[in-house]
């Protein structure tokens, strides 16, 4: 098996996220993209999809540009990373634009290919796992870790994601995603 594109993507992501911590978690940010790769690997062995899972937050959360991803990894990986990146709404801060960004994300995912959905599910399952771990430790105070502190808003978002990703419902990852959403909410 040729893993060269995945290997390169992991090194690239490690360098892009170097020195960053996962939102108050006390561990390096890179743990999240690596968990996304591990989750995606339960659904596919497509090395470009796995590379996109490793890189999914580089454009959104670092100074890496989409053109740099395209140059280093090609159009398919760049398109998958772009599909997983939040859009921005000019003139609004992240809290004000949260609902709009999440609605747009759910709509895009509903119409997306299963390749895009695999990368998204890997990311979202990693996220809901982290929320569940924190919820187990601190209960409803978990929502204070987010800019949007309303648990019902997060429930709406994750349930919308589950509907958008339903074409993957035969996978273990999707089943775990839905079960974990139910445990949190």
Please pick, among 2, 21, 57, 61, the residue that the annotation labels catalytic: 61
Q: Are the CB atoms for 59 and 73 separated by under 8 Å? A: no
* 66-80 per-residue burial string, b: 16 or more CB within 10 A, e: under 16: eeebbebbeebbbbb
> What is the Cα–Cα distance from 128 to 174, expressed in whole angstroms?
12
> What is the Cα–Cα distance from 174 to 156, expressed in whole angstroms?
17
Catalytic residue check, 75: no
Catalytic residue check, 35: no
Residue 181 neighbours by CB under 8 Å, 6+ apart: 128, 155, 158, 159, 162
Please pick, among 2, 21, 57, 60, the residue that the annotation labels catalytic: 60
- Catalytic residue numbers read 60-61
């Amino acid at each position: 098996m040729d893993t060269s594109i995945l290997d390169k993507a992991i090194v690239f992501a490690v360098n892009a996220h170097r020195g960053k911590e996962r939102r108050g978690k006390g561990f390096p940010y890179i743990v999240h993209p690596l968990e996304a790769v591990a989750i995606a690997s339960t659904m596919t062995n497509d090395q470009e999809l796995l590379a996109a899972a490793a890189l999914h937050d580089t454009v959104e959360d670092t100074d890496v540009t989409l053109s740099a991803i395209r140059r280093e990894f090609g159009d398919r990986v760049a398109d998958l990373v772009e599909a997983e990146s939040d859009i921005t709404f000019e003139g609004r801060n992240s809290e004000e634009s949260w609902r709009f960004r999440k609605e747009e994300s759910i709509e895009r995912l509903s119409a997306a290919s299963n390749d895009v959905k695999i990368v998204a599910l890997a990311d979202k399952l990693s996220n809901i796992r982290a929320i569940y771990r924190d919820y187990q430790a601190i209960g409803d105070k978990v929502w204070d870790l987010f800019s949007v502190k309303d648990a019902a808003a997060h429930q709406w978002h994750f349930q919308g994601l589950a509907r958008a990703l339903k074409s993957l419902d035969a996978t273990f990852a999707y089943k775990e995603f839905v079960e974990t959403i139910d445990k949190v909410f």
